[in-house]
């Protein structure tokens, strides 16, 4: 089996210990794990179906699949999808890690990932035995005919939003080559200075979803990271193929979680409240960073600030750790991140304010 890279965050143990030793405790902005309460509507929905002893459906309940379709239309203007083209996943990370293999790709196939990318894109390709190519532009790929191409807008880690013309061009290029386009849209609800667009929006695909998949998560928008609640949708044929494999493999979202997902997809007020929390934290952190020698790149959407002091990323990580603030070096996401750090908005208001005060001290 292909050797996988070391888990990046394990390498932060030393600087984390330094940050923890600072008076007042650590402000951990290194990971995107939610810290706010799970909305009551979701907890209630989980409890209501907690006494169902039978196996859940791999395809999810009809209510869940309908809730996905309705939420995508209401929140993101996505139309033309059928409920059968929705497949719940055990969070989005397992979908990202296993999609190349579940779609039948392997040795001899090429999987394209962004130059700065969530590390699991690369891991998924390696698990399948495929070749990984980092590219942000189609001209970089030359005559290659990739099996699969990842899009991520808003980007993790940079917060960059891809415009409709860019998305449309990628879809057209991929169709000419028989390439499956998979769009990671876990941060689609968190647009700040720009409005992200799904690859499944009609203005992008022109009324055809063939060869297109979108991966979604409720971890960030509904604080459901511990529930492992995600889904994939798009091309009905590809979703059907994934469903058949997942049935055999037992990759099933627990039935109570499916009930909770319906509530999360229905509760737009809870989504709006969570957005407001992140927006407030973003404004505080962004100002504190910019007022104290940092430049913010991209970061027009999503859950992170992509920041630089014009020095090696690890130097910045250590400088912040001395002030009790832990962030992730840009090198976790690819060689192009060598002078940036990723600063997460996932800390309580008190901890965000503490970080701002330490930056200004």
The full set of domain ranges for the chain reads 8-37+269-360, 40-267
Question: 152 - beta bridge partners?
Answer: 184
C-alpha–C-alpha distance, residues 259 and 63, integer Å: 8
Same fold, 8-37+269-360 and 40-267: no
* End-to-end alpha carbon distance in the chain: 50
CA distances from 6 to 3, 120, 285, 323 (A): 9, 12, 30, 27
Q: Answer yes or no: is pLDDT of 181 > 90.
A: yes
The pLDDT of 318-336, averaged and rounded, is: 96
Answer for the pair 343, 285: CB distance below 8 angstroms, yes or no: yes
Task: Give alpha helix (H) positions in 250-306.
Answer: 255-266, 268-291
- Cβ-Cβ contacts under 8 Å for 112 (sequence gap 6 or more): 133, 134, 135, 141, 146, 148, 149, 150
The pLDDT of 258-283, averaged and rounded, is: 97
Q: How confident is the model at residue 241 (pLDDT cuts 50, 70, 90)?
A: very high
Please report the pLDDT score of residue 279 as a whole number: 97
Q: What is the mean pLDDT of the chain?
A: 96
Answer for the pair 301, 191: CB distance below 8 angstroms, yes or no: yes
For 8-37+269-360, give the CATH class: alpha beta
Q: Answer yes or no: is pLDDT of 122 > 70.
A: yes
Q: Answer yes or no: is pLDDT of 3 > 90.
A: no
Residue 347 is given by DSSP the state S
**307, 313, 93, 52: which is closest to 217 by C-alpha?**
93
The pLDDT of 11-29, averaged and rounded, is: 95
Domain 40-267: which topology?
Answer: 3.40.640
C-alpha–C-alpha distance, residues 66 and 82, integer Å: 8
**211, 202, 250, 216: which is closest to 234 by C-alpha?**
211
The pLDDT of 186-199, averaged and rounded, is: 96
**Sole residue written with tokens 């942000």:** 136
3-class secondary-structure state, position 20? helix
**127, 131, 91: which is closest to 113 by C-alpha?**
131
Answer for the pair 161, 300: CB distance below 8 angstroms, yes or no: yes
The sign of the dihedral angle between the CA atoms of 334, 303, 325, 320 is: positive
C-alpha–C-alpha distance, residues 336 and 343, integer Å: 17
CA distances from 296 to 189, 299, 330 (A): 21, 7, 13
Answer for the pair 265, 76: CB distance below 8 angstroms, yes or no: no
Please report the pLDDT score of residue 213 as a whole number: 98
Answer for the pair 229, 252: CB distance below 8 angstroms, yes or no: no
Longest dimension (CA), the chain: 58
- State yes or no: cis peptide before 154, omega within 30 of 0: yes
C-alpha–C-alpha distance, residues 223 and 206, integer Å: 33
Residues 301-311 have pLDDT tens digits of: 999 999 999 99
C-alpha–C-alpha distance, residues 319 and 300, integer Å: 25
Please report the pLDDT score of residue 2 as a whole number: 60
């Amino acid at each position: 089996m292909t050797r996988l890279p070391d888990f990046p965050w394990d390498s932060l143990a030393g600087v984390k210990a330094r940050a923890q030793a600072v008076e007042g405790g650590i402000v951990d902005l290194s990971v995107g794990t939610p810290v706010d309460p799970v909305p009551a509507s979701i907890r209630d929905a989980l409890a209501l179906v907690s006494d169902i002893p039978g196996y859940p459906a791999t395809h999810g309940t009809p209510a869940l699949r309908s809730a996905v379709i309705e939420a995508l239309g209401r929140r993101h203007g996505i139309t033309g999808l059928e409920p059968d083209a929705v497949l719940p996943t055990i969070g989005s990370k397992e979908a990202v890690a296993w999609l190349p293999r579940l779609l039948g790709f392997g040795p001899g196939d090429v999987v394209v990932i962004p130059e700065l990318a969530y590390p699991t894109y690369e891991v998924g390709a390696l698990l399948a035995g495929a070749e990984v190519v980092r590219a942000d532009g189609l001209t970089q790929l030359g005559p290659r005919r990739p099996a699969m191409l990842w899009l991520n807008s808003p980007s993790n880690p940079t917060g960059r939003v891809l415009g409709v013309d860019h998305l449309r061009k990628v879809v057209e290029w991929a169709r000419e080559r028989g390439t499956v386009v998979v769009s990671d849209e876990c941060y689609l609800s968190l647009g700040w200075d720009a409005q992200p667009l799904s690859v499944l929006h009609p203005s992008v695909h022109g009324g055809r979803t063939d060869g297109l998949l979108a991966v979604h998560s409720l971890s960030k928008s509904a604080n459901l990271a511990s529930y492992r609640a995600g889904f994939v949708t798009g091309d009905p044929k590809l979703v059907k193929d994934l469903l058949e494999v997942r049935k055999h493999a037992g990759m099933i979202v627990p039935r109570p979680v499916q009930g909770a997902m319906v509530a999360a997809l229905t509760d737009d007020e809870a989504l709006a409240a969570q957005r407001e929390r992140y927006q407030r934290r973003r404004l505080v952190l962004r100002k504190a960073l910019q007022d104290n020698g940092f430049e913010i790149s991209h970061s027009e959407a999503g859950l992170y600030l992509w920041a630089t002091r014009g020095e090696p990323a690890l130097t910045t990580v250590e400088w912040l750790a001395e002030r009790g603030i832990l962030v992730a070096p840009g090198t976790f996401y690819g060689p192009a991140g060598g002078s940036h750090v990723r600063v997460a908005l996932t800390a309580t208001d008190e901890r965000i304010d503490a970080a701002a005060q330490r930056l200004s001290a």
